[in-house]
Amino acid sequence: MSTRYNQFGDMLKLLLGVWLGTVMLAMFLWVPPHEGLGNLGRIIIVHVPTAWVTVLAFLISAIYSGLYLRRRRPEHDDRALAAAEAGLLFSILATVTGSVFAKAVWGSFWNWDPRETSIFVLLLIYAAYLALRSAIEDDERRRRLAAVYSLLAFITVPFLIFVIPRIAESTLHPNCALLATSNCEGVTLGLEGSGAPKVSLLGERKVELLDIQERDGVAIARVEVTEPGATSRAILEPSINQRTGQPVEMPEIGGTRFRLKLERLEGERASLNIEQPGSSGLLRNSRTLLTFLASLAGFTGLFYWIYRVRAAVLGIQGRLAEEGVL
């Protein structure tokens, strides 16, 4: 019975290795470069699943903490601890992959974007949970108090994940589809006498419409863009094909991959918006979507495996300690 179970487990383990290996190969060889981000867009295959696993681990840890408080069975605490340890590992992976991407695309490793803030707090919570455990000698008390802390954290974290991104003025993450912030609508500027303001804020940047020119059916808006804190300014010339309504030029904004887009032109009024890299459908390509889903399944499987092995080891340790071997 147990050998057959072990054989089955070994096969699953092997399958998981082959599966994740295939996903990694597909990520670099099979997935086409993203329209806006180029090769940088490939990071989504690793970054998003690790972030998802971090949240999943947090959920599992809280559920088993609650179960422990109710039933007081040490196995439940072992599972809560195993999930938290795996969660710490994956939250570090998500933070590092995201940070590398942020440097390449947004210009700095860390921006205190709402998503970055929430993963940072999850990291702190995992660390605090493990610190609390290491500071209590008595087994039963350690389990009980750690479970209480895990549940307290579980109550307060949703405030970060769901609420702060909503009230924040801007987010760098491509999530206008999920969360409508002030960035998503863009601004309408006008020349003098048109009734619309000449200067406004687009996200954190100041934009000023200088003039509008027309050449062969293509309208060009000359816009001065000033970075936050007036550290630098540049004159950009986004343009639009007036017959089709399609943008022609979308110049990049100072050192980032954000592009300035002229969305509409009515008389002397120009509607401007920031085209976020990735907001034009990171997963629209079917190969990318398939690899992404396979990666999501693979990372979830990897997490589950780590979590089960660790919980089993903790269980054996506990029993050995009870019998006085350890």
Partner 1 sequence: MFSPSLWRSTWAILRKDLRAELRGRVAINTLLLFAITTVVLVSFRLGPLGISRDQRAVTSIAVLLWIAIFFAAMSGLSRSFVAEEEAGTAPLLRLAASPAAVFAGKLLYNLLLVAVLEALVVLLFAALMNLRVGNPGLFAASLAAGGVGLGVATTIIAALVARASVRGALFTVLAFPLLLPLLVVAVGATELALAGAGWSKAWPELRLLAAYVLALLAASLLLFEQVWEG
Q: What SS3 class is residue 90?
A: helix
Among the residue ranges 18-26, 33-41, 74-82, 155-163, the one whose residues contact partner 1 (CB under 8 A) = 155-163
What residues are paired with 269 via a beta bridge? Answer: 190, 266
Beta strands in the chain (DSSP E): 187-190, 199-202, 205-215, 218-226, 233-236, 239-241, 259-266, 269-275
When binding is defined by CB under 8 A, the residue of 1, 155, 177, 178 that contacts partner 1 is: 155
Least gap, CB of 128 to partner 1 (angstroms): 5
What residues are paired with 272 via a beta bridge? Answer: 187, 262
Least gap, CB of 164 to partner 1 (angstroms): 7
CA 290 – CA 23 distance, rounded (Å): 10
Q: Is 180 in the site for partner 1 (CB under 8 A)?
A: no
Between 11 and 163, CB nearer to partner 1: 163
When binding is defined by CB under 8 A, the residue of 24, 67, 69, 176 that contacts partner 1 is: 69
When binding is defined by CB under 8 A, the residue of 11, 15, 18, 163 that contacts partner 1 is: 163
291 — alpha (psi -120 to 50), left (phi > 0) or beta?
Answer: alpha
Q: Interaction with partner 1 in 105-134: which residues (CB under 8 A)? A: 117, 121, 124-125, 127-128, 131-132
Between 182 and 256, CB nearer to partner 1: 182
Nearest to 126 by CA among 64, 71, 186, 55: 55
Between 141 and 287, CB nearer to partner 1: 141
Q: Interaction with partner 1 in 241-300: which residues (CB under 8 A)? A: none
Between 89 and 123, CB nearer to partner 1: 123
How many chain residues interact with partner 1 (CB under 8 A)? 28
Between 63 and 145, CB nearer to partner 1: 145
Report residue 119: phi and psi, to 5°: -70, -30
Taken as a whole, the chain contains a residue count of 326
Is residue 81 within 8 Å of residue 67, measured between CB atoms?
Answer: no
Least gap, CB of 13 to partner 1 (angstroms): 34
Q: CA-CA distances (angstroms) from residue 97 to 82, 102, 216, 279? A: 23, 9, 45, 19
When binding is defined by CB under 8 A, the residue of 20, 67, 100, 145 that contacts partner 1 is: 145
Among the residue ranges 159-167, 205-213, 226-234, 298-306, the one whose residues contact partner 1 (CB under 8 A) = 159-167
Q: CA-CA distances (angstroms) from residue 11 to 19, 135, 298? A: 12, 40, 15
Q: Is 230 in the site for partner 1 (CB under 8 A)?
A: no
The residues, any chain, with a CB within 8 Å of residue 192's CB and separated by 6 or more, are: 198
Q: What SS3 class is residue 218?
A: strand
Is residue 269 within 8 Å of residue 194, measured between CB atoms?
Answer: yes
Residue type for position 189: L
When binding is defined by CB under 8 A, the residue of 164, 248, 289, 312 that contacts partner 1 is: 164
Between 41 and 203, CB nearer to partner 1: 203
Residue numbers of the site for partner 1 (CB under 8 A)? 69, 117, 121, 124-125, 127-128, 131-132, 135-137, 141, 144-145, 147-149, 151-153, 155-156, 159-160, 163-164, 167
